[in-house]
Amino acid sequence: MQTNNLVGDSSVDASTVVRRSEKQIACDMGGEVVILDLDSGTYYGLDQIGAAIWNAIEQPASLVAIRDAIMAEYEVDAETCERDVVAFVERMRGAGLVEVGGGGSAV
C-alpha cells in the first residue's frame, strides 16, 4: 500500500504541484537531459533518474504523481522514492528550474 505523505520539507506534501519554469530550455540527450537556465546561462545535466522526474513534470504534476511514475519505472521503495523526489524538486527549485505550489492548481 502506498502512502500519500511525502517526507522531507514540511512546505511540501503529496498534493504539492510541481511545474517546469518557463525560463529554461531542456533537451533530451539519449536518456539524460540537459537544461539551460535562460536567466543565468547555466547548464544543468540530469542523469537517467533525474530525467525521468523531469519528464514526469512535462505538465504540472503533484509530488505523489511524480513519485508514483518513478516507482512504476524503477525498483524503489515508497519512502526512499519520496525522499529522493522531494530532494530533487527542492534542488531544482533552488536553481530556479521548477516552481512549486499548492495542490489542485497550476503553480
Contact criterion met (CB below 8 Å) for 17 and 105: yes
Query: Can you tell me the distance from the alpha carbon of 74 to that of 63, in angstroms, rounded to the nearest whole number?
Result: 16
In this prediction, residue 7 has a pLDDT band, given cuts at 50, 70 and 90, of very low
Average pLDDT, the chain: 86
pTM, rounded to two decimals: 0.81
Q: In the CATH hierarchy, which top-level class contains the domain 17-101?
A: alpha beta
Q: 80 burial class (0-12, 13-18, 19+ CB within 10 angstroms)?
A: exposed
Instruction: Find the mean pLDDT for residues 38-44.
Output: 95
In this prediction, residue 11 has a pLDDT band, given cuts at 50, 70 and 90, of low
If one compares 43 and 3, the residue with the highest pLDDT of the two is 43
The residues spanned by each domain of the chain are: 17-101
Contact criterion met (CB below 8 Å) for 87 and 93: no
